[in-house]
Amino acid sequence: MALITKAVRGTRDVLPHESQALRYIERTALELAQAYGYAELRTPVFEHTELFERGMGDTTDVVQKEMYTFFDKGGRSVTLRPEGTAGAARACLEHGLLAEALPCKVSYVLRCYRYEKPQAGRYREFSQFGVECFGAATPAADAELIALAAETLATLSVTDTRVEINSIGCPECRKRYLDALRAHFAQRQSELCETCQGRLEKNPMRILDCKSPVCAGIATEAPTVLEYICDACAEHFDGVKRYLDAIALPYEINPRIVRGLDYYTRTVFEILSEFPEAKGLVLAGGGRYDGLVEELGGQHTPSLGFGMGIERVWLQMQALQAPLPEKHLCELYIAAMNSDALQRAAQLAQELRASGWHVEYDIVGRSLKAQMKYADKIHAKNTVVLGEDELKNQRAKLKDMKTGAEELMTLPDFADEFERLMLRRVERDILEGFGDDVTPFPQP
Ligand code: ATP
Ligand code: MG
């Protein structure tokens, strides 16, 4: 039978064997962010289009080429969010969070949408973990932000990465830099792609991250921004480096990072993969955007944040065979030999599940032999068989499928006895330095 349709190009289904790992990544990231004082914020998937045009800048690749923009049935132009910062700033402003004690620190895991050419690590629907810190101007804030991004990867055992930082100055010192860039690109104007010809006047910095090979070639000889930043910006950048040194976080200075969004000021950073197959892929990127909140109608609020591509992190974790928490397995499979026993199985399962145990029994009408085969297939940790004798004596044998050890249980107290038995096993595993079914976490 032919399927009537398949998933849209650039989107991916997360199947059960993968979703547990992704949930682990997301939870780990959000929990670590919590330790840095960030609380989770959830914003809508779509926003008014002008939010991104204003918030990201209308000369950016994302706004010019990659947004999923459409008119809703009321004739309003709305856009599926391509990133998290603009929506977070809008929400914090709208709900008055920036009028309270600052800094205001928010974190999120969200789906983003960009119409890009799909390839490994690049999708049209993808997930970002990100944080935004509103109302913090000092270099310590920049260093703390970079530390959180790096620490998130380290906690997930994502090794083989490199932190690169740069300063792109403030709007004041950038004027001189933009003039120098214009002069550079004007010499070879006719060779630039059409989009970049349009950017030459308005925002020549955008030409630096154009993906066209010709523009990229011309960009390699362009002057770099660090030569142009003013004393105050240079001092801020020195401060960031000092704090990073103080917390012993290795970094490299890459004067060519400009970041894809218009609203960045001063510090920008990227964490790149150095893993052979993924070399150069950007796992996380972010920086300071002191002008954004004002751009959206708020007070001047120095702010900063980063976004991390969850699928890219997961790709690298798979390639590195990074450890993951133990797979969720069925704790107990209750096999039943007749319909009375099946009813008793249903009751027991109900009771145990209410206490959080993963319990299964036969709901497809299999023979006993087939039930046991199925229990084996799902790697049930324990099994119990209920039949006429068990119901008559109100006793049944629980079998540990790994060791083969059997334990006589009384049916009326089954749930309590099961709970105690499982606790004893956890204690035993801890005393023995964990059973071999637990994937150990690496030592820091
Ligand atoms: P790139 O240069 O790779 O296009 P970007 O500068 O457009 O990245 P950001 O806007 O900074 O990316 O987004 C933050 C992070 O989100 C990126 O570092 C990356 O890990 C991830 N990301 C961005 N676009 C995609 C995509 N299309 N598919 C998967 N992940 C993405
Ligand atoms: Mg991009």
**In this predicted model, what pLDDT tens digit does every residue of 289-301 receive, in sequence order?**
999 999 999 999 9
Residue 438 has pLDDT above 70, yes or no: no
pLDDT of residue 444: 34
pLDDT tens string 372-405 = 999 999 999 999 999 999 999 999 999 999 999 9
Q: Work out the pLDDT band at 434, boundaries 50, 70, 90.
A: low
Q: Work out the pLDDT band at 416, boundaries 50, 70, 90.
A: very high
From 67, 146, 256, 282, give the residue whose CB has the most ligand 1 atoms within 8 Å, as the site to mutate. Answer: 282
Atom of ligand 1 nearest to the CA of 281: 3
Q: Work out the pLDDT band at 206, boundaries 50, 70, 90.
A: confident
From 312, 315, 316, give the residue whose CB has the most ligand 1 atoms within 8 Å, as the site to mutate. Answer: 312
pLDDT of residue 260: 66
Phi, then psi, of 152 in degrees rounded to 5: -60, -45
* DSSP β-ladder status, 39-40 and 77-80: unpaired
Kindly list the strands in the beta sheet with 68-71, ordered across the sheet, starting from the edge strand earlier in the chain: 46-48, 77-80, 68-71
Residue 262 has pLDDT above 80, yes or no: no
Q: Which long-range contacts link 153-157 to residues 24+ away (Cβ below 8 Å)?
A: 153/271, 153/283, 153/284, 153/308, 153/313, 155/28, 155/32, 156/25, 156/28, 156/29, 156/313, 156/317, 156/322, 157/317, 157/320, 157/322, 157/323, 157/442
pLDDT of residue 432: 80
pLDDT of residue 443: 37
Residue 93 has pLDDT above 70, yes or no: yes
Range 332-434 has CATH code 3.40.50.800: yes
- If you ran DSSP here, which 8-state letter would residue 122 be given? B
User: Per CATH, which fold does 16-170+229-320 belong to?
Assistant: BirA Bifunctional Protein; domain 2 (3.30.930)
What average pLDDT does the segment 65-94 reach?
Answer: 97
Q: Work out the pLDDT band at 61, boundaries 50, 70, 90.
A: confident
From the CB of 161, is ligand 1 less than 6 Å away? no
From the CB of 283, is ligand 1 less than 6 Å away? yes
Task: Write the CA distances from 126 to 27, 307, 315, integer angstroms.
Answer: 17, 12, 13
Burial category of 101 from C-beta neighbours within 10 Å (exposed 0-12, middle 13-18, buried 19 and up): exposed
Task: Work out the percent of the chain whose per-residue pLDDT is above 70.
Answer: 97
Residue 202 has pLDDT above 90, yes or no: no
Nearest CA to ligand 1 atom 7: 260
What average pLDDT does the segment 311-334 reach?
Answer: 94
* Backbone angle region of 379, left / alpha / beta, with phi > 0 → left and psi within -120 to 50 → alpha: left
pLDDT of residue 280: 86
| Domain limits, the chain | 16-170+229-320, 332-434
Asked if domains 16-170+229-320 and 332-434 share a fold, the reply is no
Reported as half-sphere exposure (CB side, CA atoms, 13 A), residue 101 has a value of 0
How many Å lie between the centroid of ligand 2 and the Cα of residue 269? 15
Compare 400 and 442 and report the one with higher pLDDT.
400
pLDDT of residue 440: 42
CA distance 206 to 262: 8
Compare 358 and 261 and report the one with higher pLDDT.
358
pLDDT of residue 33: 98
Residue 442 has pLDDT above 80, yes or no: no
Residue 439 has pLDDT above 90, yes or no: no
Q: What is the pTM of this model?
A: 0.90
